[in-house]
Amino acid sequence: MTTTVATQGGIGTNAQRPDGALKARGEFAYSSDLWHEDMVWGVTLRSPHPYARITSIDITEALRVPGVQAVLTHEDVPGTNIYGLEHPDQPVLAEDVVRYQGEPVALVAADHPETARRAMKRIEVAYEVLPPVVNTEDAAHGRAEPLHPNGNVVRHVKVRHGPQDVRADVVVTGEYEVGMQDQAFLGPESGLAVPADDGSVDLYIATQWLHADQRQIAVALGLPPEKVRLTLSGVGGAFGGREDLSMQVHACMLALRTGKPVKMVYNREESFYGHVHRHPARMYYEHGATRNGKIVYVKARIYLDGGAYASSTGAVVANAATLGVGPYDVPSVTVDCWGVYTNNPPCGAMRGFGAVQAAFAYESQMDRLADAVGLDPVEVRIRNAMSEGAVMPTGQVVDSPAPVVELLTLVRDKPLPAKGNDLTDMPGGVSNTTHGEGVVRGVGYGVSIKNVGFSDSFDDYSTVRVRLSVIGGQAVASVHTAAVEVGQGLVTVLQQITRTELGVDVVTIEPMDTSIGDAGSTSASRQTYVTGGALRAACAAVRAALFERIGHTDLPLDHDKIVEVLGTDVIDEVVEWRHRPTYRLDPETGQGNAHVQYAFAAHRAVVDVDVELGLVKVVELVCAQDVGKAINPEAVLGQIQGGTAQGLGLAVMEEIQLADGKIRNPSFTDYLIPTVLDMPPMVIDVLERPDPHAPYGLRGVGEPPTISSTPAIVAAIRAATGMALTRVPVRPEHITETS
């Protein structure tokens, strides 16, 4: 049914972000800018120890500080003092034990943030410090003290595909390690809780998933969900780090106790303790292949450090396991992946979600295989690349385009960049460490596979409401959803889809809140797919209602026709929409159609390495990615550039450094993220090979480029140095062997 007339700013155009100018001018209101008459400020007392028993908490002195409105401990949690994204195991406030450094122990509200902090320091907590469990493999194999009632294994996923225990002529093995990366979103955790007279609360919050927050907050507060209303505030980036609760329950508890609006804002240091990080990984891989480089089998053991609480570790483990051999045809797969509890900081969702860690290992292995059989690294990948119709290690058939060979060929065939002569072109940049001495160029490749949307039988859906009315002679559509904008551009996508589907120019986006049904998380590269799909269906329902009024269904729909037909009526449709179902992995074999869709990206990295100083300048990054359909081509490029930069960070600088469970660098002074002088220009090819199962044929975009840029950059550094480099981030100490 072709019933719409393309209007300006529909899908496939570079529609401008409604929040773009405000953000560029610094006028956008983030959650940390929230303000309310009579509000008070909340702060959080956190454990200084990774593992300790709490023997007593004395709040007497804190309560005596003038200006203090409330001091709360676990005894004041009104509902159940336990929450969690996948399964509840984390206290809102610690009771008799703390399991990580930074675990919340008590809350203070005061009329000034400084007063609250001063009072917080007067809370006396007596700890009996215990030796922390920090070794992931010990935790996985029962060699450490259990930190939770069911032991330290959060999840163990086994994948058994094809004949097991096969042999091959060529065998390459490797042990790889990925350090703990932080999302490093720029807007720290913050929100404002406003109590209402009926004992309910409104929370204005920067989050990734309003309804998951609502469910968990309601349980902790002992309130029915409808008495906990959430409205999205301005979000300064997320990348997975806002999928778990941070200060949500705390602010609501303080608001309900004091009867006043309570604002909480973490500073940068607290933010490092206030959200989950990317799982550090230790990975053992063995690839068997024929002499001409065709993979015969892959065996892998992957250990992911989940830290003190489960968060989304279970799903991360499933991703690392099911995507653990990469976008390759592998006839025999034996993968074991463990996610475990330790006393390290909790780890959970971060862009790439398990696929990042595995990709560093399997792509490093592909380069070793290329060496072992004397092939070019791209050629060995092409010989093994999967394509549409391939069978995944889970037994799932890839039933939409998988243009892995084309992506690899595209990045390989780009011309190589020339050497730069300016200081800013050199490793070290303006720090003036080399004028060309010791600088060696290297080129490397990486290719990735990522699932889009929630997997493993999760009921993954979104809810969208579309209202169509005529205001002042103009047709106006308004879109309401709880799907949140975290900076990725959903607001633009919603406007574009509505314009295309309804033929109206003016589309307003209602505040994102919990007064409408669940839209799922803004994660897993899923919102354009799932909420986009729901919006398209809601628009179709609006169209159907219009046609009913007209009495035809085959007319082109345009603005004037809508105005004429609608008059003073309002059409209002709410749709709940699901993608096709996924199925649970078999616990013994890891078999099952667990994923909705696969997405692919490839990178070529060109680096200059100062081999004497171990400093790296990434000179150029080339990326090719299949996006099915680019709803907003410019926003797609932004995702690819941003994702690539985050992968660059993991390759050469980003790591939360730990010592006995304690974070050594909780600041942007010492947790370094790439600057404009670290991130090189990119050459990007965007392919549009439609997925017949997805709305508009689109594919999730946000994660794949993060995954393949890291192994490509490390491969390039290896090419320049001839070193094995089995750990990311690669540090100057690794290259100069001065650790």
Partner 1 sequence: MEFLRPVSLGEALEMKAARPEAVPIAGGTDVMVELNFDHRRPAALLDLTRVAELAEWSRDDSVVTFGAALPYTRLINELGTDLPGLAIASRTVGSPQIRNRGTVGGNLGAASPAGDTHPVLLASDAVVEVASARGTRSIPASEFYLGVKRNALEPDELITSIRLPKATGPQQFAKVGTRNAMVIAVCSFAISLHPNESRAGAAIGSAAPTPRRVRQAEDFLTEVLDWESPQALPDSAKRRFGELVASAAEPIDDVRGSAAYRKHALAVLARRALGWAWDAYREGERSCA
Binding site for partner 1 (CB under 8 A): 117, 267, 269, 424, 427-435, 437-438, 612-615, 617, 652-653, 657, 664-665, 669-670, 672, 674-678, 731-733, 736, 738-739
User: How near is the Cβ of 265 to partner 1 at its closest, in Å?
Assistant: 12
Closer Cβ to partner 1, 109 or 653, answer by number: 653
Question: Identity (one letter) of the amino acid at 583?
Answer: Y
Residue 658 CB partners (closer than 8 Å, separation 6+): 134, 180, 344, 345, 664
Identify which of 441, 414, 410, 484 has the alpha carbon closest to the alpha carbon of residue 230.
Answer: 484
Identify which of 157, 141, 88, 584 has the alpha carbon closest to the alpha carbon of residue 310.
Answer: 88
Read out DSSP for 504-564?
Answer: -SEEEEPPPBTTS-----S-TT-HHHHHHHHHHHHHHHHHHHHHHHHT-SSSPB-HHHHHH
Closer Cβ to partner 1, 432 or 568, answer by number: 432
**3-class DSSP assignment, residue 318:** helix
Q: Treating both helix axes as pointing N-terminal to C-terminal, what angle do 704-721 and 355-373 enclose, rounded to 10 degrees?
A: 40
User: How near is the Cβ of 654 to partner 1 at its closest, in Å?
Assistant: 10
User: How near is the Cβ of 504 to partner 1 at its closest, in Å?
Assistant: 43
Read out DSSP for 460-508?
Answer: -EEEEEEEEEEETTEEEEEEEESPPPSSSSHHHHHHHHHHHHH--SEEE
d(CA 42, CA 104): 13
Closer Cβ to partner 1, 270 or 691, answer by number: 270
User: How near is the Cβ of 22 to partner 1 at its closest, in Å?
Assistant: 21
Closer Cβ to partner 1, 403 or 427, answer by number: 427
User: What tokens appear for 40 in the block?
Assistant: 């008070």
Closer Cβ to partner 1, 275 or 662, answer by number: 662
Give the β-pairing of 295-305 and 124-129. Answer: unpaired
User: How near is the Cβ of 422 to partner 1 at its closest, in Å?
Assistant: 12
End-to-end CA distance of the chain: 65
Helix (H) / strand (E) element for 119: namely helix 113-120
Closer Cβ to partner 1, 437 or 569, answer by number: 437
- As a three-state string, the secondary structure of 242-265 is CCCCCCHHHHHHHHHHHCCCEEEE
d(CA 593, CA 587): 13
User: How near is the Cβ of 32 to partner 1 at its closest, in Å?
Assistant: 14
Closer Cβ to partner 1, 430 or 471, answer by number: 430
User: How near is the Cβ of 656 to partner 1 at its closest, in Å?
Assistant: 10
User: How near is the Cβ of 712 to partner 1 at its closest, in Å?
Assistant: 18
User: How near is the Cβ of 615 to partner 1 at its closest, in Å?
Assistant: 7
Give yes or no for a contact between 581 and 457, defined as CB atoms under 8 angstroms apart: yes
User: How near is the Cβ of 618 to partner 1 at its closest, in Å?
Assistant: 9
Instruction: Name the β-bridge partners of 621.
Output: 605, 682
b/e burial code for range 312-339 (CB count within 10 A of at least 16 → b): bbbbbbbbbbbbbbbbbbbebbbbbbbb
Closer Cβ to partner 1, 56 or 738, answer by number: 738
Provide the 8-state DSSP code for 189: S
d(CA 514, CA 232): 9
Give yes or no for a contact between 480 and 464, defined as CB atoms under 8 angstroms apart: yes
Helix (H) / strand (E) element for 283: namely strand 281-289
Identify which of 501, 494, 419 has the alpha carbon closest to the alpha carbon of residue 19.
Answer: 494
Closer Cβ to partner 1, 120 or 640, answer by number: 120
Instruction: Name the β-bridge partners of 68.
Output: 110
User: How near is the Cβ of 432 to partner 1 at its closest, in Å?
Assistant: 5
Q: 18 preceded by cis ω (within 30°)?
A: no
User: How near is the Cβ of 114 to partner 1 at its closest, in Å?
Assistant: 8
Closer Cβ to partner 1, 534 or 619, answer by number: 619
Question: Identity (one letter) of the amino acid at 584?
Answer: R
User: How near is the Cβ of 267 to partner 1 at its closest, in Å?
Assistant: 7
User: How near is the Cβ of 667 to partner 1 at its closest, in Å?
Assistant: 8
Closer Cβ to partner 1, 434 or 632, answer by number: 434
Q: Treating both helix axes as pointing N-terminal to C-terminal, what angle do 704-721 and 633-652 enclose, rounded to 10 degrees?
A: 40
Closer Cβ to partner 1, 86 or 111, answer by number: 111
User: How far, CA to CA in Å, does 518 sit from each of 208, 214, 248, 595, 596?
Assistant: 12, 10, 18, 21, 19
Closer Cβ to partner 1, 371 or 733, answer by number: 733
Give yes or no for a contact between 447 and 408, defined as CB atoms under 8 angstroms apart: yes
d(CA 258, CA 116): 14
User: How near is the Cβ of 666 to partner 1 at its closest, in Å?
Assistant: 10
User: How near is the Cβ of 264 to partner 1 at its closest, in Å?
Assistant: 16
Identify which of 587, 593, 581, 165 has the alpha carbon closest to the alpha carbon of residue 394.
Answer: 593
Closer Cβ to partner 1, 155 or 731, answer by number: 731
Closer Cβ to partner 1, 87 or 117, answer by number: 117
Give yes or no for a contact between 76 and 66, defined as CB atoms under 8 angstroms apart: no
Closer Cβ to partner 1, 435 or 584, answer by number: 435
User: What tokens appear for 55 in the block?
Assistant: 């023997």
Closer Cβ to partner 1, 9 or 666, answer by number: 666
Cα–chain-centroid distance for residue 300? 24
User: How near is the Cβ of 647 to partner 1 at its closest, in Å?
Assistant: 15
Closer Cβ to partner 1, 238 or 653, answer by number: 653
User: How near is the Cβ of 428 to partner 1 at its closest, in Å?
Assistant: 7
Give the β-pairing of 68-72 and 153-161. Answer: unpaired
